[in-house]
Amino acid sequence: MAKYKLVEKLLNLRRVHLSDRNFILIVSSMVGIASGLAAVLLKLSVHHIHEHLTHYSFGDNWGLLLFPIIGLIITTLIAKSLYKESSVGHAITDILHDIFRNNSNIGKSKMYSRFVTSMFTVGFGGSVGLESPIVLTGGAIGSNMAQSFLLDYKTKTLMIGCGTAGVISAIFNAPVTGLIFSIEVILTGVSVANFVPLLISSVSAAIVSSLIVGEEVLFSFKITDDFQAQNIPFFIILGVLAGLMSIYFNQTLHQMEHLMEEKFPNRYRRALFGGILLSITIFIFPPIYGEGYESIKALLNGHEHHLLERAELFESIIPNTKAWLFLAYIIMILFAKVIAASLTLSSGGSGGTFGPALVIGGLTGFAFARLVNLLGFASLHESHFILVGMSGVLCGVVYAPLTAIFLIAEITGGYTLFVPLMLVSAIAYTTVSVVNPDAPHVSTLKARGDYLKGDRDMQVLDRLNINKLIETNFVTVQVRGYLSDLVKAISVSQRSVFPVVDKEGKLRGIITLDQVREIMFDQEQQETVKIANVMMQPPSIVYYGERMQSVMQKFEKEDAWNLPVIDQDKKYVGMVSKSRIFSVYRKQLQRLNKEWVGN
């Protein structure tokens, strides 16, 4: 009740004292604060769960064989039973689907469902990142706040962008990255005027993060050595390696998801089987437990021995003096991380590829730099290659080069590595684009016919509801009737098309006036010619509730102007005409143009 009173007060304040522009700025700051709080709360929750579980002695390392399984089963139970969600992965896909197909209305439950499920998945050791689930949480916060204030489609979409910018800004304390991520990945088009709400939201969230979360939780590293231009050839090679690792990760995840769905249709069995494999992998390679950022921090700070802690199978055989064995161990961890992240997501875990991409990139950069140093080809700063590798693989996995570049620049506190960051990200992006020009989330949406980014005409068309365009003033005739019955129908109809139905109301065909014009006044034929003998099958059929994109494809393919509409029982509902669609389309376009140009 208090919530509705607050909304009502703000709406009254807006009407009396605030311009639309200023009101949007206020809402964007509210979205930023709320999304920032959600991000830091999730980060802190997972951090405390990790601390509790890792300090809980369960036969030394044997807890690693149990915790990931528990996390996946709890996640599956919550997602299926409590939130009724068929999937808890691919958050970016879900957001874009709601922007394109659901008028930017994201369900209220998504403000907390992925928050809860990812907390259990990652908190109990699932080897994925928190970024994707919290991005959906932030987008849902923005969408629902905009819905509460009765804002239009464009502003709702902008608030989704504000929410996603806020959570990325807060979780990394990187406001510029949050802004760029929202523009590069989420929003379909941003005018200069809309930069301000996004920036306000991102900065608000970053302030919340810096006030609440300590450095031990956030990922940060200060660079003390300058970038050396003579190392550019090695960065070029790293760019190619980062692109190849991105391809390997994306393809492994895609194939494993299909394999697990095919072999284990039951979600609980999938979680159990995948959880067992995941737990074994983590038991062998403890550094991949959870998000994995601690391993990257250890390598950056020169604490390599931390990666051998709790690694009972390797700790005794890889002393610090055996550099080549340690390099082999890092490479094994690198590929184990790809497998573990893919297993977590394909088994029903809630998380994303953002975090794993950073870890995989960091390990790739370290392994490459260490190899070059051991071979004596050069003396590379391994920390530089770790950070630049993170940017390269993130760019290749998410297809967001600017986000990858500015993220590393911000978490390192400067632009010392800006040149290699741009170089490696560009090469990695080019490499992955050769194999697949589209990001994984874009490919998924395109396969479902849901990707409308950049296609304004299709965005307008797809927001039309076919059910509201059905015309019911077409006179029907019975399939068992005669031409005389059709003549009677013609005399009372203003249309030139006559649907033919049976006694159950099911569509059997159609008759056009042109078909019977020559015989309709022949008295003899009126009583002898059956409707069934003169009707024809419609060039195509439209289904009740069908997407407008599909409907227009049928009109274009058949060069038709009128098509019948039937329901799932094949009963005749009405007719839909191309001319009516175009008329409504023009009105919708005019209205939306005002939204796009406004604000």
- Over range 31-44, report the average pLDDT: 94
Q: 48-57, 237-246, 339-348, 483-492: which range is least confident on average?
A: 48-57
CA distances from 526 to 23, 488, 493, 504 (A): 69, 11, 18, 24
- State yes or no: pLDDT of 320 exceeds 60: no
- State yes or no: pLDDT of 412 exceeds 50: yes
- State yes or no: pLDDT of 157 exceeds 60: yes
Domains of the chain, each with CATH number or no CATH? 2-212 (1.10.3080.10), 229-451 (1.10.3080.10), 459-597 (3.10.580.10)
What pLDDT does residue 523 have? Answer: 79
Confidence of residue 237 (pLDDT cuts 50, 70, 90): very high
CB atoms within 10 A of CB 48: 12
Within 422-502, strands assigned E span 477-478, 497-501
What pLDDT does residue 100 have? Answer: 80
**Contact (Cβ atoms closer than 8 angstroms) between residue 114 and residue 352:** no
What pLDDT does residue 595 have? Answer: 55
What pLDDT does residue 455 have? Answer: 57
pLDDT tens for 548-571 read 888 888 988 888 888 999 998 899
Q: Phi and psi dihedrals of 541, rounded to 5?
A: -125, 135
Residues 6+ apart with CB under 8 A from 398: 185, 353, 354, 357, 404, 439
Q: 362-371, 449-458, 585-594: which range is least confident on average?
A: 449-458
Number of alpha carbons in the 13 Å side-chain half-sphere of residue 530? 4
What pLDDT does residue 10 have? Answer: 66
The number of residues in the chain equals: 599
The dihedral built from the CA positions of residue 378, 382, 386 and 387, taken in this order, carries a sign that is negative
Residues 6+ apart with CB under 8 A from 94: 106, 110, 136
The dihedral built from the CA positions of residue 247, 249, 253 and 259, taken in this order, carries a sign that is positive
Rounded Cα distance between 450 and 461, Å, is 12
What pLDDT does residue 599 have? Answer: 44
Give the pairing of strands 562-566 and 572-577.
Answer: antiparallel
Rounded Cα distance between 106 and 102, Å, is 8
pLDDT > 90: what percent of the chain? 47
Confidence of residue 582 (pLDDT cuts 50, 70, 90): confident
Confidence of residue 592 (pLDDT cuts 50, 70, 90): low
- State yes or no: pLDDT of 317 exceeds 80: no
Of residues 512, 510, 502, 477, the one with CA closest to residue 569: 502
- Over range 20-37, report the average pLDDT: 91
What pLDDT does residue 486 have? Answer: 87
**Contact (Cβ atoms closer than 8 angstroms) between residue 101 and residue 463:** no
Joined together, the tokens standing for residue 382 give: 């391994």
Q: Phi and psi dihedrals of 574, rounded to 5?
A: 170, -165
- Over range 376-398, report the average pLDDT: 93
Give the mean pLDDT of the chain.
86
CA distances from 567 to 161, 470, 506, 548, 578 (A): 37, 12, 9, 16, 19
CB atoms within 10 A of CB 551: 22
Q: What SS3 string covers 363-427?
A: HHHHHHHHHHHHHCCCCCCHHHHHHHHHHHHHHHHHCCHHHHHHHHHHHCCCCCCHHHHHHHHHH
Number of alpha carbons in the 13 Å side-chain half-sphere of residue 372? 18
Confidence of residue 598 (pLDDT cuts 50, 70, 90): very low
What pLDDT does residue 217 have? Answer: 59
pLDDT tens for 43-100 read 999 988 988 887 765 546 777 788 999 999 999 999 887 777 666 667 888 898 888 8
pLDDT > 70: what percent of the chain? 89
